């Protein structure tokens, strides 16, 4: 399948322009200066207009034709929400259904039609029947994210949790803000509804946003992009050894986090620079002491979406223990399938749903929380194992990597991979592990100690660190081709 997270779309031969990503010279030195110049020269009362127009231009940079889809979904949802708001009580449910079916229908066609036809053809071919001729559909970038925004907005208006937007420009700007349009975080309308009408602009806020953007940029380019060739090399080996398979699994675990969390940090930073406060999306997930805690820390906006609009709607934990386990499993399987039209994501959803159900069963049976020293490595191991099938192109590839991790092809590193590992990749993997572990050290960190002079030195280093890391990232970006985000065209 095409354009799935964990697969670089450039390797899959997709159409589209990878310069639309944040980690590119075109974005840094062309789009951003133009955007900020136009935005801050526009009177405040009209500043949602440049957000809307230039965000649409940013989206059209990839594929002009799919801008019509974004605009159509935006207009459709805006109109349905107005009708839902004005409808009599008996008709409200009907308008909600229309809105949900319209949005989810678009998502189903563009994201799952290829998967459905491919699966149907495989069954027909196995039974000896002729297959259906089908031209693969290109997946528009950001579709999964802006459809979820539409779904959350319609449900919140239906529940009267948020006032309906009477301004199309405000609502369309919310949908199109370029910083979160491609890969989130999943921002609900209620979270920025007031700021769409009135928001603070200050040099301090702009500076804090710039610092956050630079940090995310460095996470993406310095760490994630450096590890990308190593991950690709491991998964390309026909018979990797255990050392190679585990190295690839660990490298992908770090690559995915620093790529996606880096994007989220850039999105949040860019939003701060124009006065918006987006919700956090990651909170040191690899330091979680249980699988439940992991999902409270990883892609938090998606976790809350699944909880509030799917798990609770299915009944949550209000209908007995068995139904709770079923709801957990169903929620994660659907969440896995939302990640991509591939059986690998369904298996990944079953894996995490089963782990969450097992965790709840353990606690319901009287088992207390595991000591952190035990819970942390067990949780991390479970997450790493799950990322293997998440990254694999198909189930057969995942099984091949799992068998290799179990020692089927020997244990030591072979020449097939060792010559491809660059020294900087080993150092970056170590750096990634250290950065993931640092927040868990708490009071052991030097900047948490006295005396005040030491705190000052570390504070100064903390302040200039993002700038230095950003400069290093720019140099690295100049020396190699731009690498699309793992969630690009998602």
Residues annotated as catalytic are 339
Whole-number Å distance between alpha carbons of 82 and 358: 43
Distance CA 490, CA 486 (A): 8
Residue showing tokens 């793992």? 486
- Contact (CB, 8 A) for 2 and 393: no
Give the separation between CA 203 and CA 205, rounded to whole angstroms. Answer: 6
Q: Is the peptide bond before 185 cis (omega within 30 degrees of 0)?
A: yes
Answer whether 59's CB lies under 8 Å from 181's CB.
Answer: yes
Distance (Å, rounded) from C-alpha 111 to C-alpha 370? 40
Q: What is the Cα gyration radius of the chain?
A: 23
Give dist(CA 473, CA 27) in Å, integer: 14
Q: State the Cα–Cα distance between residues 445 and 134, nearest whole angstrom.
A: 58
Give how far Cα 281 sits from Cα of 223, 278, 344, 389, Å: 19, 9, 24, 23
Report yes or no: 128 and 66 within 8 Å, Cβ to Cβ. no
Q: DSSP secondary structure string, 212-243?
A: HHHHHHHIIIIIIHHHHHHHHHHHH-SS--HH
- Evaluated on CA atoms 314, 315, 319, 324, the torsion sign reads positive
3-state helix, strand and coil shares in percent for the chain, rounded to the nearest 5 = 70, 0, 30
Q: Which residues of 12-43 are buried (b: 16+ CB within 10 A; e: fewer)?
A: eebebebbbbbbbeebbeebbeebbeebeeee
The counts of H helices and E strands in the chain are 21, 0
């Amino acid at each position: 399948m095409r354009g799935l997270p964990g697969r670089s779309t450039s390797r899959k031969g997709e159409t589209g322009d990878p310069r639309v990503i944040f980690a590119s010279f075109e974005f840094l030195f062309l789009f951003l200066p133009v955007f900020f110049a136009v935005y801050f020269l526009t009177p405040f009362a009209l500043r949602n207009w440049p957000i809307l127009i230039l965000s649409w231009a940013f989206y059209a940079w990839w594929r002009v034709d799919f801008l019509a889809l974004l605009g159509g979904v935006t207009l459709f949802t805006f109109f349905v929400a107005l009708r839902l708001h004005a409808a009599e009580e008996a008709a409200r449910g009907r308008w909600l259904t229309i809105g949900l079916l319209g949005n989810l229908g678009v998502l189903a066609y563009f994201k799952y039609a290829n998967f459905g036809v491919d699966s149907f053809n495989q069954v027909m071919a196995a039974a000896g029947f002729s297959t259906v001729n089908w031209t693969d559909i290109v997946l528009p970038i950001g579709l999964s994210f802006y459809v979820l925004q539409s779904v959350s907005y319609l449900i919140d208006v239906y529940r009267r949790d948020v006032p309906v937007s009477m301004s199309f420009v405000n609502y369309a700007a919310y949908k199109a803000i370029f910083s979160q349009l491609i890969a989130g975080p999943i921002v609900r309308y209620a979270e920025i509804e007031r700021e769409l009408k009135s928001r603070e602009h200050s040099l301090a806020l702009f500076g804090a946003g710039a610092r956050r953007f630079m940090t995310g940029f460095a996470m993406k380019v310095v760490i994630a992009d450096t590890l990308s060739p190593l991950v690709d090399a491991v998964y390309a080996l026909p018979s990797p050894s255990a050392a190679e398979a585990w190295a690839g699994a660990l490298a992908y675990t770090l690559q995915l986090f620093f790529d996606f969390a880096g994007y989220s940090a850039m999105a949040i930073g860019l939003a701060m620079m124009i006065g918006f406060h987006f919700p956090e999306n990651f909170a040191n997930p690899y330091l979680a002491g249980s699988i439940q805690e992991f999902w409270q820390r990883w892609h938090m906006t998606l976790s809350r979406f699944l909880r509030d609009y799917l798990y609770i709607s299915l009944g949550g934990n209000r209908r007995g223990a068995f139904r709770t386990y079923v709801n957990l499993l169903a929620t994660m399987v659907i969440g896995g399938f939302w990640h991509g039209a591939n059986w690998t994501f369904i298996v990944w959803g079953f894996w995490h749903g089963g782990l969450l159900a097992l965790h709840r069963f353990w606690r319901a049976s009287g088992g207390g929380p595991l000591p952190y020293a035990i819970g942390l490595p067990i949780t991390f191991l479970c997450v790493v194992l799950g990322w293997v099938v998440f990254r694999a192109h198909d189930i057969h590839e995942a099984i091949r990597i799992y068998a290799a991790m179990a020692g089927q092809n020997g244990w030591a590193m072979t020449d097939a991979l060792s010559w491809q590992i660059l020294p900087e990749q080993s150092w970056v993997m170590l750096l990634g592990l250290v950065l993931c572990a640092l927040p868990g050290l708490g009071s052991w960190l030097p900047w948490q100690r006295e005396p005040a002079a030491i705190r000052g030195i570390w504070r100064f280093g903390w302040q200039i660190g993002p700038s230095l890391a950003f400069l290093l990232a720019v140099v690295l970006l100049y020396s190699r081709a731009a690498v699309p985000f793992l969630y690009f065209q998602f």
